[in-house]
Amino acid sequence: MEIKYESTITAVGKLAREFLDNNNSVIILNEGLHPNLADMVVEHTITELAADIEAGDKLKIGNTDFKVVRVGDIANSTIREEGHCTLVINADGTMPGQIIVKGAMPPRLRIGDKIQFFKK
């Protein structure tokens, strides 16, 4: 499978797991970019987006697989600029910076785990 994006989780904010549990969402962001947001986000290593993420692509966080079902209008540009988007897991979303994914269970969000998008 062709990798479009691959990064490693470097920090999990105190509120990031709460957002996942309560809102079915995970906010990802390049490490160190906005220290004032560190409690709310999952920070990851800086990397480049090789190709736009599209519906039908695959997301893998650690050992958990998801199918991308919708990509917001600005999600690819915010990933390119700041490694930032909101992953909405097994729920609906309509915001332009969100990527909606479906899978069997939510990810564990562990430091050292990979965040990977693969071409469909």
Q: Does domain 3-118 have CATH number 2.40.33.40?
A: yes
Residue entry with tokens 């990933």: 79
**If you ran DSSP here, which 8-state letter would residue 14 be given?**
T
Rg of the Cα atoms in the chain: 13
Looking at the predicted structure, is the pLDDT value of residue 105 above 90? no
State which H helix or E strand residue 13 sits in.
none
The predicted structure's pLDDT at residue 80: 97
Average pLDDT over every residue of 96-107: 93
* Structure tokens that stand for 60 in this block: 């893998």
pLDDT in tens, 14-70: 999 999 999 999 999 999 988 888 999 999 999 999 999 999 999 999 999 999 999
pTM (global) more than 0.75: yes
